[in-house]
Structure 1
């Protein structure tokens, strides 16, 4: 995924956080997501990319428009 000029990524939670590792739950919360199907826009930084990579199986990730 290439970086856009504004450096934003849209992230949506598509799988439940129930019965997940505490570190994975913390990553989702760190991205600012609180509930299922909530979509947030986060800065495209190495820190956010690391959290997204750790919990990629629960997220839908797109470049912000």
Structure 2
């Protein structure tokens, strides 16, 4: 089975005024504040969460080289 691609998700708008579902979705994605970025596997579950908060985030698909770099950085964390 091939490795899934990676998505870089960045919060660009505040969660204030959003529904509880939107706030919970941002929390589940690991986004805590405006400007915060996380890298997630490109899976249908993640795509669905992103669709729920699409007006609050931007999404960038990472190339294979960038994804490998991110994976190496995650592996080196204590």
TM-score range for the pair, normalised by the shorter chain length? 0.7 to 0.9
TM-score, normalised on structure 2?
0.73
Q: CA RMSD in A?
A: 1.2
Total equivalences in the alignment = 61
Looking at secondary structure, tell me which structure has more strand per residue.
Answer: 1
Structure with larger RCO (C-alpha < 8 A, sep 6+) = 1
Looking at secondary structure, tell me which structure has more helix per residue.
Answer: 2
Compare CA radii of gyration and give the structure with the larger one.
2
- Following TM superposition, the consecutive aligned residue runs of length 4 or more in structure 1 with deviations greater than 3 angstroms are none
User: Equivalent residue of 1:56, what SS?
Assistant: coil
Unaligned runs of 5+ in 2: 67-78
